[in-house]
Amino acid sequence: MGTVWRASDELLGRSVAVKELHVGDGTQSAGALREARTVAQIKHPHVVVVHDVVEQDGHPYIVMELVEGSSLADRLAADGPLDHGETARTGLALLGALSAAHARGVLHRDIKPANVLMEAGTGRVVLTDFGIARLAGSTTISETGAFIGSPEYTSPERMQGAAAGPASDLWSLGVLLCAALTGESPFHRDSLGGVLHAVVSAEIRPPAQAGPLLPLIQGLLERDPERRLGAAEAERLLSAYVTTGAVPLLDRPLGPNPTAGTATEAPTTPHPPGYSPTERVGRPGDRAPGPAGKFRPSVRLGLLAALVVAAVAGGVSAASLLGDRTDGRAQEPARSATASPATASPTPASPATASPATDKAVAQSPAASPPAPGSAASAKPVPPGYRTVTDVQGFSLAVPKGFQRTTDDQRVFYVSEDGAIRIGIKVKPSAPGGPLAAMRLSDAEGPATNPGFRDHSVVATTHNGLPAALWEFTWDGFTRAEGARHTFDLCWDENGLLHDVWVSAPVSRLAEARSHFDAALDSFVPGGS
């Protein structure tokens, strides 16, 4: 976007930074100057100070304060990830900078570690490089067809070609906090196609290093901008951690949307001694999943648009990028052979390893499987340390205490406090060929959706006397720091619906994952039972 020069202000006798913007014709130059002047009006201690905006020989220049120090990207490369306290302080500073910019209708649109300066001596955090900032409501694609921003840090709605808003910058802040804690973006992949798939449709799981900041990061990395954590609530959580070392409970699972729902106790429902009270998680206002096995139309079209833009800017083939995932499906994590006693599972679990949840394609079919006698009644008492939740989608199951609910518009997840273990549930119309065909299709797509896909198997079995299939696999995991993951996934056909329950966890925690998997299966009661 430009070249930055170290320069001397001869009038005031001070060192400054001068950014020469790389723009095309006079119209673009005038637009860049208008935007730079708007940015110059943002006054905040964590926004780089703009001294002047000038034009010489048709080239626009921005004269800024010179921040002595290194970028956050340089700091991470040299010294490794930040601790939770420093990450929270950095996030709070950047949130203040963004709030000041958003109050003037200015979006940054390229928040990443390279654009965060750490001033030497003072430790001041400075957000810089507003050179691609735009007024709220503009799109991701520039007039010249170039992609604006850094894909790994770009929000899903911008990837889809939608107009950006303040929530888009908050998503990028969430990605940056993950990078600060681990050293890299959670959406880092080896190819642009992989990055686009990761941002738009693949399972999102914050790194295990998120620790106490997990609720904050989960809220910021909500794909639906209407449900994404707002600036005020994010500031409340960050301020609380900086001052007390603890993050307070969220008023809602994800974002500021009042219909997103909260996990609330049902105190009026009696429960036996030693058992946790039943909870209702989510509300009827929560969004229903999209069509089975496909992107929602806006997502698919937006992804195509982003790929075409990337092809224009980088000279690569959009068709070759689409080869990474032409149908838009995301595989789901596999499940363990240690199902409930009513589940006949003759095949032992595959070697310890792990994989992320992805979305299996399930074709709609009017065919209905007869209900299994006593299916709902076969649920076992809740084990110690678990609680029963009744989800807004109608089913209920036992999950470990402390696990939090989240969704990705296609599936429901209950996630451990450290983010490492996920219990996933998906209910879709029955498919031709039943559970075994659905699992085999997902298994066939495993190498395309899960890097390092290996140690995989699909076996026919039953669940409470109903046709079922068990899928297990290992993959390389979300980050190098976490390492490989393994998935246990059971899918069965009941009352005309495919029920899919899985647990995904690091291979180092497979015993714990198996216990959670067994408890979920033993206690699962489908909707309407």
- The full set of domains in the chain, from first to last, is 2-65 (3.30.200.20), 69-244 (1.10.510.10), 330-523 (3.40.1000.10)
3-class DSSP state for residue 70? strand
Instruction: Answer whether residue 11 shows pLDDT above 60.
Output: yes
pLDDT of residue 20: 84
Is position 79 annotated as part of the catalytic site? no
Dihedral pair phi/psi, residue 71, rounded to 5°: -85, 165
As a whole number, mean pLDDT of residues 251-264 equals: 38
Contact 492, 471 (CB under 8 A): no
Q: What's the Rg (C-alpha) of the chain? A: 25
As a whole number, mean pLDDT of residues 342-361 equals: 33
Torsion sign (Cα): 329, 255, 500, 447? positive
Q: Point out the least confidently predicted range of 4-8, 97-101, 173-177, 363-367.
A: 363-367
The residues near 501 (Cβ < 8 Å, ≥ 6 apart) are: 335, 397, 423, 424, 425, 489, 490, 491, 517, 520, 521, 524
The residues near 34 (Cβ < 8 Å, ≥ 6 apart) are: none
pLDDT tens profile 399-434: 999 999 988 767 899 999 888 999 999 998 988 889
Contact 512, 386 (CB under 8 A): no
Instruction: Answer whether residue 127 shows pLDDT above 90.
Output: yes
More confident residue, 526 or 314: 526
pLDDT tens profile 495-508: 889 999 999 999 88
pLDDT of residue 405: 92
CA distance 350 to 337: 9
More confident residue, 458 or 314: 458
pLDDT tens profile 171-214: 999 999 999 999 999 999 888 888 888 899 888 878 889 989 99
Question: What Cα–Cα distance (Å) separates residue 501 from each residue in 137, 414, 526?
Answer: 40, 11, 11
Q: Amino acid letter at 519?
A: A
Instruction: Answer whether residue 326 shows pLDDT above 60.
Output: no
Alpha helix (H) ranges present in 118-165?
Answer: 156-159
More confident residue, 152 or 354: 152
pLDDT of residue 94: 95
Which residue in the list 110, 493, 518, 522 is annotated as catalytic?
Answer: 110
b (16+ CB within 10 A) / e for 468-485: bbbbbbbbbbbbeebebb
Contact 130, 110 (CB under 8 A): no
